């Protein structure tokens, strides 16, 4: 089950709004754009650190485990890039026109870096979004 594409998808997640520290926002102006950007980055981090099959209600949520040692680093990077693209386009409705780029780091070959570029789905806030991701040696995705 994935989200339906919605050009009006905008705002922060339900659980973020329910949190006791959540800032209020005007119903006419909507949430602060910086709060929405932080929410998108947090959601992408959660999505990519989830493993497919771990959620009983949505088994395809998250990424598959990439522990296949028979793949070369370039092949592995391309498979991860494709998996990131599919996961984010399926489960982050607030962005569209996603592009994922692999950025190889010669200084830290055990770390893989990815650059995500997308357009925010908001009529009130037309802007492009860029997120730098790091897959570190402990296999955790971090938003930089």
Percent pLDDT > 90 in the chain is: 17
| 4 DSSP assignment | P
19, pLDDT greater than 80: no
pLDDT given for residue 87 in this prediction: 93
This prediction has a pTM of 0.76
d(CA 86, CA 98): 10
pLDDT given for residue 123 in this prediction: 62
Query: Could you give the count of Cα atoms lying within 13 Å of 140 in the half-sphere of its Cβ?
Result: 5
Phi, psi angles (nearest 5°) of residue 141: -85, 130
The domains of the chain are located at: 14-143
d(CA 98, CA 96): 5
Question: Cα 89 vs. chain centroid, distance in angstroms?
Answer: 8
By CB atoms closer than 10 A (0-12, 13-18, 19+), residue 26 is exposed
Model confidence at 26, pLDDT cuts 50, 70, 90, reads low
pLDDT given for residue 141 in this prediction: 84
Distant-in-sequence, close-in-space partners of 97: CB < 8 Å, separation ≥ 6: 118, 119
Residue pLDDT, tens place only, 90-136: 999 888 999 999 988 777 767 788 999 999 877 656 678 888 888 87
pLDDT given for residue 14 in this prediction: 59
d(CA 127, CA 53): 34
Average pLDDT, the chain: 77
pLDDT given for residue 6 in this prediction: 47
The topology (CATH level 3) of 14-143 is Nuclear Transport Factor 2; Chain: A, (3.10.450)
């Amino acid at each position: 089950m994935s989200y339906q594409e919605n050009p009006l998808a905008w705002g922060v997640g339900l659980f973020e709004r329910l949190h006791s520290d959540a800032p209020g926002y005007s119903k006419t102006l909507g949430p602060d754009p910086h709060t929405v950007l932080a929410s998108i980055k947090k959601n992408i981090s959660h999505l990519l650190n989830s493993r497919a099959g771990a959620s009983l209600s949505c088994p395809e949520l998250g990424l598959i485990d990439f522990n296949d040692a028979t793949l070369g680093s370039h092949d592995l990077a391309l498979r991860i890039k494709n998996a990131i693209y599919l996961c984010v386009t399926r489960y982050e409705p607030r962005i569209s026109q996603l592009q994922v780029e692999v950025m190889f780091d010669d200084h830290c070959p055990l770390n893989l870096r990815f650059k995500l570029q997308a357009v925010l789905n908001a009529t009130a806030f037309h802007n492009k979004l860029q997120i730098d991701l790091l897959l570190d040696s402990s296999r955790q995705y971090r938003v930089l």
